[in-house]
Chain A
Amino acid sequence: MCTTGNSKHQAAGAANSPDECLAWQGLLERIPYARHLGLQAQTDNGGVLIHLPYREALIGNFKLPALHGGVLAALIELTARTAAQRRDKDHRCPRILDSHINYLRSAAILPTFASAEIIRQGRRTSLVEVMCWQDNRAAPIASGRVQLLLPAVVATNTEAQEQ
């Protein structure tokens, strides 16, 4: 458990993991579709990952059986969105511009996890890479690259005067 004392010594933006996890969960709970899928934030070795619990309604192929590709896409896009929103200092809510997902293995009927890596976060856009895995983190089932747009910041008085 991280205490308040510990967090004082951490660098800005690298909040302690349990607090950060709660913040991610808070953002997910504001998204009706994320609630519908049952997405949960979890602490992960100093960072946060998102867990998609398995349920039968998520199956896309009953013959295999395998999870629907669209459900994995939702996990990837919402992980990217939450990561970008948490990284932004004003926690602005981003809009997804495009996403490109590669399906690497068929998704078994198991719990699925996703972790995000922010490739670049600027003032207006964010590029996030997400990996998705199930029982073996070294054997990812899907990877995605999501480009997001952060809404314009309202200029402060000082900035407005400078222009």
Chain B
Amino acid sequence: MQIISITKNQACIRLPPNPRLFVDDNTEEFCASVLYSLADSASGLAVLAEARDSSPIATLDLRVDYFQPAKGDRALLAVATCPKLTEEVAFIHCDIFHEGCHELLATANATFMRNTLGGRILANERA
């Protein structure tokens, strides 16, 4: 995955085609779960973009609607925006397209918990 751009409250990342990420040996089509991963990564980056810090975050939930199959011969682009950020929670919307095409392949909505500096991180840092 490559970061294409990070602006005020938006992050865009790109994933080039790779046969290891396909859904079937006989079809050149990305596995849906790959789009899910891409949405998760772009969404997390959008939280950090809007928050302008790098304190740890955690995905609470993420829902993806798959509109149409993602062809395996073209790169994927995920554009995630953060419409609302509070002290504790960030809400994210993410759209996935083929590079150079405006037709939506999938759309995602996510909620992230902010500042998840939990016991395990603190314990690791002390160690």
Contact = CB atoms under 8 A, between A and B. Distances in A.
Interface of A: 30-36, 61, 63-64, 68-71, 73-74, 77-78, 93, 95-103, 106
Contact of A73 (B22, B25, B36, B65): B36
Given A68-B37, A106-B120, A32 B60 contact: no
Nearest to B21: A33
Interface residues of B, number: 31
B61 A77 contact: no
Contacts of A74: 31, 33-34, 36-37
A32 B33 CA distance: 12
B120 A69 contact: no
A103 B33 contact: no
Contact of B66 (A73, A98, A102, A106): A98
Contacts of A31: 23-24, 31
Contacts of B66: 95-98
B20 A101 contact: no
Nearest to A34: B31
B51 interface: no
B32 A96 contact: yes
Contacts, number: 93
A98 B31 contact: no
Contacts of B60: 102-103
Residues of A contacting B: mostly: mixed
29 contacts: A30-B25, A31-B23, A31-B31, A32-B20, A33-B34, A35-B20, A36-B21, A61-B56, A64-B120, A68-B40, A69-B59, A70-B36, A70-B37, A70-B41, A71-B37, A73-B33, A73-B37, A74-B34, A77-B32, A93-B24, A99-B63, A100-B62, A100-B64, A101-B61, A102-B60, A102-B61, A103-B60, A106-B118, A106-B120
A29 B29 CA distance: 16
Which 8 A-B pairs have CB atoms at the shortest separation, nearest pair first? A70-B37, A74-B33, A33-B31, A100-B63, A73-B36, A96-B32, A32-B22, A36-B20
B21 to A, nearest CB: 5
